[in-house]
Amino acid sequence: MIWPAAPAAQPDNVVPAGQVLDLRGSAATRLLAGAAANGDHRVTATVTFTDGTVGQADLSFGDWVFPGGATTRVFENTRLARTDHRNPRGTGTSVYASTPCEAPAGRTPRHDHDAERREPRRRHDRTG
């Protein structure tokens, strides 16, 4: 997985808001890294294929501090990393991999470089 570098004190996450993600490459199975804030969040993405058909992908994530209200995984997320604390000490945080999304046999996700793009809403959590 590729983890983007964000300058200190700058927005470092994206909130799903209908934007287009250009997932280049030839991988048949894809997943995203992330975590939810203020509780667990279920999100479904629409994937457009080169033949014009569409499919759905689950991009749900557990909360970065207390997934499922405790420490158990939710939405079949796989924990990629966990810290033992944050500010304040005593509460760890996690980053997860989404449920893998596999393209149906014979279909390829479209990479439409000319599609209308909306700037993702970015948020910087100054509490953690």
What confidence score (pLDDT) does residue 30 get? 82
Strands in the chain per DSSP E: 14-15, 29-30, 33-34, 44-48, 54-58, 78-82, 94-97, 101-102, 121-122
Confirm if 67 and 38 have CB atoms less than 8 A apart. no
What confidence score (pLDDT) does residue 121 get? 46
What confidence score (pLDDT) does residue 118 get? 42
Amino acid at 64: W
What confidence score (pLDDT) does residue 2 get? 67
> pLDDT tens track of the chain, all 128 residues?
667 678 888 877 777 787 777 777 777 788 888 888 888 889 888 888 888 888 888 889 988 887 666 666 788 888 888 887 776 666 788 888 888 888 888 888 887 654 444 444 444 444 44
What confidence score (pLDDT) does residue 120 get? 44
